[in-house]
Every structure is written in structure tokens, then in C-alpha cells.
Structure 1
Amino acid sequence: MPAHVPEPAPLAPTTPATPATGADVHDVHDVRGDDVPGEAGGGPLARERSHLSASRAALRAMREDVESLDIRDVTANWVNAQILERQIEDRIKALADLSDTPLFFGRLDYLHPPGAEEAEGAGGGRFYIGRRHVHDADGDPMVVDWRAPVSQPFYRASRQDPMDVALRRRFGYTGGDLTAYEDEHLSDPTETAVTSRLLQREIERPRVGPMRDIVATIQPEQDEIVRSGLSDSVCVQGGPGTGKTAVGLHRVAYLLYAHRERLARTGTLVVGPNRSFLHYIEQVLPALGELAVGQATVDDLVAHVEVRGTDDARAALVKGDARMAEVLRRALYAHVRPPTEPVVVVRGSRRWRVPAYELEELVRQLLDRDIRYGAAREALPQRIAHAVLVQMERAGEAPDDRVQDAVARNGAVKAAVKAVWPAVDPAKLVLRLLADPEFLAEHAAGLLDEDERKAVLWAKPARSVRSAKWSAADAVLIDEATDLIRRTPSLGHVVLDEAQDLSPMQYRAVGRRCTTGSATVLGDLAQGTTPWATRSWEEALGHLGKRDAVVEELTAGFRVPTDVIAYASRLLPHIAPGLTPVASIRDNPGFFSVRPAGGDGGGDVLAACRELLAREGSVGLIAADARIPELARALAEAGLGYVAPGEETTSGTRLTLVPASLAKGLEYDYVVLDEPRAVVDGEPDERTGLRRLYVALTRAVSGLIVTHAAPLPEQLLP
């Protein structure tokens, strides 16, 4: 059955009052859509609203069907019952009807109905495209998932390649109400192709609170990345406002749709730079019906010890260098000692002797196999036991596997393994490297020079793992050592966002989590603000273990206004020479102002905040970290309420006070940037400071006010 409302009569011509867009646009605020001439039983807008109401009722019925399931007699035990109950709860959550989220945002009318398999079982040539699949009581789809093959032309069809689509209709919403639609007749050669007004309106729509999905506005170049295969690792280089984070999240959603059973077994993970960022993006995937994707920072992944210390930039740079992986490997395998004594196993009245030279050969074979330290240590007693069994067979006995296991557990064998291949605690290994100059020098020979070794050594060595003041970089080293001893479990797919700030050792830590899976790497080389920031994606992907990943570049800016991105791009020659500047494609130029301040600038900052709070949307006040306490006091005294980054989801307050160090990845409708010079000076070197400033300048979606009492950095001057 066709998944549509009754076919409306031909649309009335666009009225002269409607601006020419190359498409038929009907907006209830401008045109009385219910009274379009020639429409019997209500106009097309009324029919689309009717289909929306029917689809919401069908979704509600789907949810009620799941809620009414009785599993009391279908599970074998309480464990299975709990698992099934959890699955049902997740299904109910996935079928939630979010009142402020449109159930469908587009429609495709095909010239020829797609095949049943491609159309998810639907018949006919009309398909409503939405965030999730909705079917009626007969099982016929009323809304088709945006990830389905039949939905792909909504994002990629054009007049040059209509993909058998006669009409593409976009819908506009006010709140949860369908209030407008816009048509593109892709198969009509007489119609001129221009930018969709509804598409632009949705892109430029003010935001309050966390990041939202872009499923209604995905562009062809973004869709190509989103629909990349599960076996493909992809690296997306994208400047501010190009949608790289959204592309990565939507790729996860697409992969879960296309490979759900496999990824349900292997798992998926989104890795972000900090907790504030993860709070900012946490609602995107649930809005698309995906609840099973984990979120973590790199620090979360390597949390083997409590981090209570910090490193200076020099120490962190050396500890984050990939050479440390080889230092750790050498230090670990230095624990393997050549056997000097034979192993004598007593069984009953017989004594079986494995000479030292034979033990040495067994150890050498295990070392040559290049398997994990712990796996080799577990294999060694079995190898020794096998050597004993060979002797038993030569003596006329007929031992079986049980005898071999018993020999492997023999006290003499255990003692030999302990002496030759001792157990090693990864944290204790790292502790010794950082506390013992001679041990470090021995295993860093030819890798680290004397100054580098001095940089990583602790001034006050800790007595134990528990008392040590571990730094974040130390935790990554422990994770590396842990993986050398026992393999880290691999996930099916990992999304790594703001990747340009990771050290080589951090890349290795993330790469261990997807050795048998794929990765989506997202970042912008111009926004690297750590001393070890990525210099090239090829180098970074090598550390990640994904050398074959395809590097895609997004250069079309959908979010940052033209004047703002042009101003920020003055810094590019100084922070990322050769990188293609972002080209804003927005119709709305946005709001941009640079304002010299009087006195300490505090009053002008507050005035700018009040001015922007009078507009619709979120406001971010971004400042150098050192100025945050002063600005917090000024805001409190002025009676301007504010929240910290990440708290937007739990508060109705529209003003966020953002330390420049936490601004990366966040986005606000309006931004007040306080004292650019202070942002630059707050970093250890000017280049890093200019990159931090570039990040801060490009957080605005609709407008930016720069206030300053100190002179602007010369790189911003025309």
C-alpha cells in the first residue's frame, strides 16, 4: 500500500507575494495553505498536517504495543527476563515522540516506485522521510527512516541527477507544528535550481541548550561520509561550522541502522575532548532513536589510576611521544630472564627433567611470536608441560590432556615460570620508569636524550602506586603498558572528535579500542591547542593504527556567519598555512562587531551580554581562563545569571560563561569574546594562543561581539 495521504490536486501557482526561490513555497504565515484554489477537502498543507497527526498516532500505537508485551512465560530464568526487560525499555525509549522534534521533515515522490526491498516493504512512489521508521496497523510505512536506501535521494538528488525523483518536498515547523512546505520539481528541466529557503531557515535557526541533530539539513558531501561502509575508517578535516561533529554522530546512527546486529555485539563509542563537550552532544543520538552508544573522554578510557598530578608542557610532550611505547616495551620484556636451571617434575616414582637449554628455546619461541606478555606467560607452563609429556611418551606412557594440565600446575613448573617470566603490574612498571633514572636510561637508550629523560623523571619519586601523584599523561603510559601485557578489547566502531589535540600516545590508546573495528576521526588542524597538537592527519592516523583511512575535507560553512569566519580566517596563515579557509554559504550574514573598551572593559562586556540576551537564542561569554573569576563576579553583581559549559541541558539560563580552554566543539547563537590578547597570552606560546583564539572566535552561529581594552593581536589587523 502507498505510504501517503490521498493524492492532492496540482498545486496552485506560487503567488507574486512569495519571493522567487525556484521552488513552490507555501507558508501558513504568508499563504492560507488550507484554502489554496483547486484543492478539495483542504489544501496540501492541511493534508500534510493530517499525515503528521496520523503518523504520530501510529508511533504511539507502536509504543503501546511494546509496553503491553507480557514476557512472564517467555523467559527461561530471571537473567534472561532482566535482559529482555531492559531491551523492551530501550525500545520504548527509542519510540518516544519528542514534541519539539518533527517526526518527518521531507517527502519524496518517485517517477517509478522503488523495489519492495529498497523501500522497506512499501509500495507506491511517495515516501515521508523522518528520524525513525513508523508503520501503521497493517505494517505499511507511514514514515521511512532517513537512513534507508530509499531516503538517500532526499540528500543527494539534483536536477543534474534527479535519481528518479519527480518531487522533493521539505517541511517547515514552528515548535512541533507543521507550518510550511517547499517543493523542488527535480525532473522539470524548466525549473531553476536555487538554495532552499526552508533549508537555510533550519540551518540558521537559533539554538538554546545542547547540540541538535542535522538530519533534515545533511548536504550531499556530508551524506557521502555518513553512509560510508562499516569497514571503512574515515578522517574528516573540517573548519568551524562545517558540521564535522554532526557528520560523525550521524555516521554512528547510520552504521547502527545498517549493521545493528554486528555492532550490538561489538559496541560503539564516541570519544570527546572533555565532559562539557559530551554533555553538549549527548542528546543527538537519542533524538535519532539510538540509545546504546557509549560516550567517554580519553581520560575515561585510561582511568587505571587516580589522576592527581599535572605535568609541565615539556614533560607532557615527551610522555605523549610515540617513542615512549618502545621504551615501555623494552622495560617490560627486560623482566624475561634466560633460564639457568632445569625444571624437574616429580610424578609418582618418576622424575622428569627439562634442561635449561630446552627451556631457553621455549622462551625464545614465545618471544619470536610477538604475542602479549601476559598471553606468553600463560602459554609457557603449557609448553613446559608438553615437553614433559613428550618424554613420558618416549618412555612408553600414554598421557592425555589432563596429565598435561596437571604438569602445567606443578609447583616446580610454576616456580620456573615465575623466575623466567614473572608477572608484571603495568602501573608499577611505569612507576619505576618515572622514578628510577638508571632503569629509564637503560630502556630509553637511543630513543630519548638526557634532557628528555630528565623531563619525565619525577622530582620526588613515589613509594607506591597508591601514593603516586599520577598525571593524565602517566595514565596513558599505564594504558599502553596494560595493553602490552593483555590485549585491550576492541569495539566495532569509534568516533574520535576534536582529534587534532591528541598526543601520539593518546591516539594509540584510542586505536587500541578499535583494532578490529573502524573509526571516524573528526578534527581541524587549525584548532590544535596542545603542545603536541597533530601536524598532519597522515601521521595521526598512523598512530591510531588506521593508515588506510580516507581523509575527507569539509570546507562549506553552514553555521558560522560570513563576516565572523572571514575575521577569524585572518589567523590561518599564522596557525595552519596551506589549510583551505571555510567558505560560509549562509544567506544570513549574521551580526559582527569589534568594540574597544574603556577602563578594564568589564562594563562593556556586561553591556554586550545584555544586548545579545535581548535576542532569541543562546549566548556564550568566552574569555581567557585567568579572567573567568573576575567576569563571574561582575556577572553576579550585575544580576546576570549564567551557567558553566555542560550545564545548559539542565538549566533554562541562556548565558554560559566559557573558559577559552573549554570552548572547543561548543556552539552558541551569540558570543561575546572578551580580550583576545588575554586569550593568546594565556597559552605557553603565541602559536598555540592564536589557535585558541581562532577556536574562540568561531563559536558563534548568529553573531559575535569582540570587546577589548588591550590592543588586538596584530594577526587580526587588516
Structure 2
Amino acid sequence: MRPPPTDIDSPFALPDRLAAKADPEMIGGDREHLSTVTATLAAQISSLGERLGALRASPGGVGRAAADRDREIHRLSSRLRLLRRFGLDLCLGKLVYADDTDPVYIGRIGLSDAGGRRLLIDWRADAAEPFFAATHARPLGLASRRRYRWDQGRITDYWDEVFISDGLAGHAALDDQSAFIASLGSSRSPQMRDVLATIATDQDAIIRASSRGALVVDGGPGTGKTVVALHRAAYLLYADPHVDDRRGGVLFVGPHRPYLAYVADVLPGLGEEGVQTCTLRDLVGEGAVAVEETEPEVARLKASAQLVSAIEPAVALYEEPPTRSLTVETPWGEVEIGPDDWAEAFASPDPGLPHNLARDQVWEALVATVADQLDHDELEDFSPDAFRSALRLDDELTETFTRAWTLIEPTDLVADLWSVPAYLRRCAPWLGSDEIARLQRSAPDAWTVSDLPLLDAARRRLGDPATARRSRQREAAVAAERAYLDDVIGHLLDAVVDPGDDLIMLKGEDLQSALVHTDGLAEPDPDLLAGPFAHVVVDEAQELTDAEWQMLRRRCPSGSFTVVGDRAQARRGFPESWAERLDRVGLTRISQARLTINYRTPEEVMAEAEPVIRAVRPDANVPTSVRRGGIGVRHGSTAELDAVVGSWLAEHPDGIAAVIAATGVATGLGASSERVRRLTPELAKGLEFDLVVLIEPETWGAGDPGSRHGQDARVVLAAVDTYVAMTRATQQLVVLHGSAPAVGARR
């Protein structure tokens, strides 16, 4: 936690070289306004702490009151964390309007003083749009726009962009470069740098676009796709009435865990902690141990949404009603359950109720069938719980029911498909004999990434059997307490000669329900990633198979998606258009936005990377770089790895480097190695580093399962991986080969 500056008269700490920007005429108004912000922050932090402490000390309550209390604690805690974390640098910049109205200050969140005067406008509010969207062709009423650079709670630099030809002389700091371009030269950090104040106009338009339907954001490396994806998630939760926590909120899906760690700090920094983030592996419990599929043909078969559809008939085999009659003996007489009775009971569950959870409804329907055939007068003295208990003592009934509607583990269902050929043939009749044989394996529960969509579909169709068991345990506990309460009330009434109406009411079911205590009974833990969500953002979406798309579609029935990716970076190919791909997986109302300006990768790097991808993807959306790094791409030998990285670390004390190789690379970098990431090309996707070192990219793809499809597939995969890895560099790129001339020579 970093507190606001203690000296509220000095929010600026400009270095000597920027002495001209310290002129009171330039920053006097900012100093006064930010001093008020500082005082307000201190007061709000104190007030929020007191309110939060009092709320936590208050009784928890029950039901809706408890839920409302928990929500308020979460809301206050989130705001307090944000105020403590950022302090004065909640402020991003200032808008000066041409009509001489008071300047407007833009913040990560909105902030008002005790009198209600607005000190900061939330960056997501409509009033803040000119801060990102104004251009010289469309100034949106602005005279100028100022952006701040913060360091340790002080402004260390600022930039002014002027939209009118005169009237601001002596009041604006005019720089050759805008804040956006200037920020690109700063070093990376282990997590994504703060980019909120440097959103480009084209990116802002995408961030604020409607949430209706599926919006595709197609852009090459360095175009800010991830920036757009994260900011759009935060913006929609704040501004879009169709996307909020009450409607399901937002799910953000990234490509891998290093990526999520890299961007973990961004959403809280945008004033939003309500977005659920995950990878596709996280959606299924088995994802943590799943390995890559080694057989390309098996991976191809499981990538199809059609194979996922085999889950439904697989479950249906466990929902077939018995076809023979069964005589049930009860204390009140015999009852026959015929085939029609079984069929009616098996058809009774609510539509969409998972198999394991529907089991109790089927049993209740059977109980009702038996009760309907008995003398109701004889049943009056028996509670429904006692009647159910009596039926459960009939072994033949319970065994027949259990065999016909069995509780199933999702993992067992899918494992049976990979170990029982006849079962798979019945559930997926379109498969050929050779395909069925290929999908069988000796260890059916040795899960692969390609299995995850089927496991997910099975879990959603079946439901958690543990949930069903907990539900029955809860019902049994409630029934036991009801029975005990019944006995107590019975003894009480027997002891009273003339019980009044108040005591008679104790026999009433409503009052008994109120007297039964259920607070300590187990409740199922909610699955935070199960959905449904109001909106889903998918980054690096070009890698998703049709089967994986079904995992996300099930979690967002509205079809409200932001789809972020680059077809050229698809490791397994992407021959069709985005519209064709998304239409095939069931998304509609598809719109598309393209990002074509590369703000990250230096021109020197892109000049060498572009031919690599053009050789295999002539239609690739290769963006145009807007900055030169002044350093050419260097080539050398792998024997020089330690020397290259070591000298760079010594010259750049604040930078982050990445060594990217097809397999693990050991280096002797010693104590400095915490600033060096070692990654495969696949795990480098979505990340960025000051220095990138590629190890023998000419060998990439040779050992990948995809290469078994042939030489062409290997060449394409190697080119895509090389292109992705090269474009992770923001300052310098070095390519090391198995045998090469000295570093600095060109190949």
C-alpha cells in the first residue's frame, strides 16, 4: 500500500531537465486541484475504513440480509483497496474545453469531495470519452488534453496535446511526441505496464462498442489487442446495463497462466475487480493435469463440436425407464408400477436439470405414483418423510431405480467412451471403425487437453454427483430435525388439557419450517466459472477449436462476446474468415474491427518478421510499426547466449528479457536471472519483453505433433511460432542459431 503524498502542495516531482514544465502558469491549477484530491482521498480512506470495520462487526444476519451485507463489504473493500493502492495517481489527466468551462480531470474511478463537487470523472463515463477519442479532425470540443506520467505517487512528466491554433500560449507543454508514443519506449515490467492513460483513438472506439452480439477485434502483433480486451471488460461492467453482476458479469479468458499473471494487475488498476479471469484449462477440474494430445488425428476428431454432441446420447442410456412392471410392498398395501408409470416418472424432471440432480425429482414422481394408488385416509397420520423412508426399505424398488437412473461421475462417462468401443459406436454412429479404434486408449482417464470440452459437456449435462449427495444429506438432516420437533410438539400437546389455538399452530407445516434450523447444514460451493455470464472476452481466440468454443457458448447463452485474435498467429491454421468460424460455432450478429497500427514492435524487428509470416500466410494482417528502436536485429550462435543476455542485463537494470526456445534452455545468469523468462513459443504468446532472444528457430516445429501431418504443416507451424516470438520484442531482438557468425552479423 502506498499512501497519498504527505505534502499536498507538491504533487509534482519534475526532473531538472523539465524545468520549463514546472512553471506555475503551466501547473498551478493542477497543483491546487490535486491537493484537493489528496485531502479528499485521505478523508475517504478514513471513512471507508470505519464503515467497513463497523459492518464486519455487525451481526451477519440470514438470507437476503446476509447476502446484502456481504455484497456491501465486498464493494467497500474493493474501493478501499483501490484508493490505498493508487492514492493521488488515480488521476490520469485533464481536459480543457474551448468554451472556457472549468477543466475536467479524468480518473481511474470517479471521486467527489464532501460537498459533492466532482473531482475526478471515471474514465468509463461518457463525459470522459474525449480524453481517448478526440482527434485533431474531431476534437469533441477540446482545446487541449493533458496526460500525466506518475512515479511513486508524484507526477514526473506530462504532455499536452492542443486542438486549437491559439489561445493556449504559455499554458500548454507542447512535445514532439504524444504521451502514447513516449510511453512505448519505457521498459517492461513483470506485469503489464499501466496503459490506461495511453489508449489510442481506434482502440477506445472498440472498448466502448455495444455488447450486443459478437465483436471481433482482429489485429496483428503490437496493435494493443490485449489492452483493448482488458479495458473493454472493465468498461462494459461499468457502463453497459446488459452486462453487470446481476446479469452474470464478465468472464475474461486468456491463453495460458503466464499471460494471466502478466495482466493480473490491469483490471484492478482500471477500477474493476468484478471480472472473472481464467484459461480454458481452468473451466474443467481435470485441466490442471491434462497434457497435450500426441496424436494429431485424435486431436482433430476431438476438436469437432460433433463429437462433443455424443455426450447427450451417452447420458440418455442412463435415463431409459424400465419396461417391466414392479410390485411394491408398503405398510399400507401393494402397488404395481407399470412401464407407463416408469416412463411418466422418468419424464418428470424440469427441462435442463442435470442428470444427477434430476434423480431426486424422478424418485419423487415414483413416490407420488405409489401414494396415488393407496388409501389416502390411511396415510393421513404419516408425514411425507416417513412415507418416503418406508419406500426406500423396498430393496427391489430402490435397486431397479438405481440401475435405471444411476448417479454418474462425468469422468467415468467420458472414460467409457475411450475404453468401450461399442459404447462410443452407439453414441457417435457417424464415426468409422478406424476412427473409433483410434480414439480408444489403454488409460482412458489419462486426460488430454482435447478431452476437456467433452469433460465439460459431461459435467454440465450430468451435474456434480456430490451435489446430489449433499442435497440428500441436507434433506435427511432436515427430516430428522422435523421428526424430533414433531415428537416434542406431540408431547407438549399431550401434556396440555385444553391447548389453545397458538399451541395447535405448532402442528402447522409453515411454522415448523420456520423452527427447523438449517444454518449449519452443508450448501454446495458455487462454481465461479460455471456461468452463465453476461459477456465473455476471449483473447488469442484464433487458437480455439470448435469444441472449445462450445465450452464458452454454454457459459454465455446471450452470445455476447468480444473475440480478440490474429488469424496469422493461429498455430493450427485458420483458413476461413472470422465470420465463417464464429457462425459455425453458433455465434450470431457478428461485427468486426481491425487494428493495423503496431505500437509495440520496433520497425527494425517488423521488417525482419514480416517476410517470415508472409511466406506461409500471404494475407496476414501485418500491422505497420510507428516507432523505430534504433537497434537492428542481431544474429549469432547459441554458444553466446549467456554473454548476450548477461551484457544486456548489465546495460539495462530495469528491463525484462525472454529466452524463447522449443525446449527448456539452461543459462548461467546467476542472481540476475529473475529478470529473464524462459518460454516456449506457445507460452510467449500475448506477452512482451524489452529483449527477446530466439534459440534456433530454424528447428522449431520438427518435434511438434502437428508436424506428423507432413512437411508443409511443420513449415507453417515453425513460421507462425517464429513470427509470434520475434514480435514479442519492444526494444531488441537477437536470433541465435546452432552455428552462426558473431553476434551482429546478418544471415
Q: What TM-score, normalized to structure 1?
A: 0.78
Match of 1:75 among 47, 58, 76: 58
Match of 1:595 among 631, 635, 638: 635
Task: Map 1:20-169; keep pairs closer than 5 Å.
Answer: 29-30=17-18, 32-35=20-23, 42-69=24-51, 70-71=53-54, 75-77=58-60, 80=66, 85-98=73-86, 102-111=89-98, 125-169=102-146
CA deviation after TM superposition for structure 1 residue 516, in Å = 4.7
Instruction: Confirm or deny: 8 A CA contact 1:239 1:555 kept in the other structure.
Output: yes
Distance in 1 of aligned mates of 2:128 and 2:390: 61
Distance in 1 of aligned mates of 2:585 and 2:349: 26
Task: Map 1:477-496; keep pairs closer than 5 Å.
Answer: 477-486=454-463, 488-496=530-538
Distance in 1 of aligned mates of 2:324 and 2:256: 53
Closer/same/farther in 2, CA of residues 50 and 455 from structure 1, 3 Å limit? farther
AA at the equivalent of 2:229: G
Closer/same/farther in 2, CA of residues 305 and 593 from structure 1, 3 Å limit? closer
- Which position in structure 2 is the counterpart of 1:614? 651
Q: Does 1:269 align with 2:251?
A: yes
Task: Map 1:159-558; keep pairs closer than 5 Å.
Answer: 159-173=136-150, 176-186=153-163, 188=165, 196-258=177-239, 262-263=244-245, 266-304=248-286, 307=289, 311-314=293-296, 315-344=298-327, 349=332, 351-357=334-340, 359-360=342-343, 363=346, 372-374=354-356, 377-384=359-366, 410-411=391-392, 417-446=401-430, 448-458=431-441, 460-461=442-443, 468-486=445-463, 488-516=530-558, 518-529=560-571, 531=572, 536-538=577-579, 540-542=581-583, 545-558=586-599
In the TM superposition, what whole-angstrom CA distance separates every residue of 1:566-618 from its partner, at most 9, and x where no partner exists?
321213334434232211223x3452223243xxx312662365146513642
Q: Does 1:655 align with 2:676?
A: yes
Closer/same/farther in 2, CA of residues 45 and 400 from structure 1, 3 Å limit? farther
AA at the equivalent of 2:691: Y
CA deviation after TM superposition for structure 1 residue 507, in Å = 2.1
CA deviation after TM superposition for structure 1 residue 224, in Å = 1.9
Match of 2:720 among 691, 699, 711: 691
CA deviation after TM superposition for structure 1 residue 180, in Å = 4.3
Instruction: Confirm or deny: 8 A CA contact 2:689 2:728 kept in the other structure.
Output: yes
CA deviation after TM superposition for structure 1 residue 403, in Å = 6.6
AA at the equivalent of 1:335: Y
Match of 1:666 among 679, 687, 701: 687
Distance in 1 of aligned mates of 2:387 and 2:219: 60
CA deviation after TM superposition for structure 1 residue 366, in Å = 7.2
SS across alignment from 1:71: helix
**Greater helix share, structure number:** 2
In the TM superposition, what whole-angstrom CA distance separates every residue of 1:600-649 from its partner, at most 9, and x where no partner exists?
x31266236514651364242333233x33xx24x34xx57213xxxxxx
CA deviation after TM superposition for structure 1 residue 231, in Å = 4.3
Distance in 1 of aligned mates of 2:740 and 2:277: 41
SS across alignment from 1:32: helix
- Mean CA deviation greater in 432-441 or 547-556: 547-556
In the TM superposition, what whole-angstrom CA distance separates every residue of 1:206-257 from its partner, at most 9, and x where no partner exists?
2232102321111222112212344444232221111111111111211232
Distance in 1 of aligned mates of 2:72 and 2:348: 47
Closer/same/farther in 2, CA of residues 234 and 569 from structure 1, 3 Å limit? same
AA at the equivalent of 1:430: V
SS across alignment from 1:295: strand
Distance in 1 of aligned mates of 2:274 and 2:81: 11
CA deviation after TM superposition for structure 1 residue 349, in Å = 4.3
Provide the alpha-carbon RMSD of the alignment. Answer: 4.0
Instruction: Confirm or deny: 8 A CA contact 1:673 1:707 kept in the other structure.
Output: yes
Distance in 1 of aligned mates of 2:381 and 2:159: 77
Instruction: Confirm or deny: 8 A CA contact 1:226 1:247 kept in the other structure.
Output: yes
Closer/same/farther in 2, CA of residues 432 and 161 from structure 1, 3 Å limit? same
Closer/same/farther in 2, CA of residues 354 and 680 from structure 1, 3 Å limit? closer
Instruction: Confirm or deny: 8 A CA contact 1:318 1:455 kept in the other structure.
Output: no
CA deviation after TM superposition for structure 1 residue 132, in Å = 2.0
Distance in 1 of aligned mates of 2:272 and 2:238: 9
SS across alignment from 1:625: coil
Instruction: Confirm or deny: 8 A CA contact 2:121 2:128 kept in the other structure.
Output: yes
Length, aligned pairs only? 641
Closer/same/farther in 2, CA of residues 497 and 309 from structure 1, 3 Å limit? closer
- Which position in structure 2 is the counterpart of 1:565? 606
Instruction: Confirm or deny: 8 A CA contact 1:499 1:522 kept in the other structure.
Output: yes
Runs of 5+ consecutive residues of structure 1 not aligned to the other structure? 1-25, 36-41, 114-123, 463-467, 644-653
CA deviation after TM superposition for structure 1 residue 535, in Å = 5.4
Closer/same/farther in 2, CA of residues 609 and 513 from structure 1, 3 Å limit? farther
In the TM superposition, what whole-angstrom CA distance separates every residue of 1:496-521 from its partner, at most 9, and x where no partner exists?
22222223222222332323573322
- Which position in structure 1 is the counterpart of 2:471? none
In the TM superposition, what whole-angstrom CA distance separates every residue of 1:514-571 from its partner, at most 9, and x where no partner exists?
2357332222222222x47785533553576433343322221111112212321213
Distance in 1 of aligned mates of 2:415 and 2:366: 32
Closer/same/farther in 2, CA of residues 564 and 384 from structure 1, 3 Å limit? same
Closer/same/farther in 2, CA of residues 581 and 190 from structure 1, 3 Å limit? farther
- Which position in structure 1 is the counterpart of 2:623? 582
SS across alignment from 1:55: helix
Distance in 2 of aligned mates of 1:175 and 1:333: 61
Instruction: Confirm or deny: 8 A CA contact 1:241 1:560 kept in the other structure.
Output: yes
Closer/same/farther in 2, CA of residues 317 and 641 from structure 1, 3 Å limit? farther
Distance in 2 of aligned mates of 1:219 and 1:574: 31
Q: Does 1:678 align with 2:720?
A: no
- Which position in structure 1 is the counterpart of 2:661? 624
CA deviation after TM superposition for structure 1 residue 348, in Å = 5.9
Instruction: Confirm or deny: 8 A CA contact 1:249 1:284 kept in the other structure.
Output: yes
AA at the equivalent of 1:60: A
Instruction: Confirm or deny: 8 A CA contact 1:381 1:414 kept in the other structure.
Output: no
SS across alignment from 1:336: coil
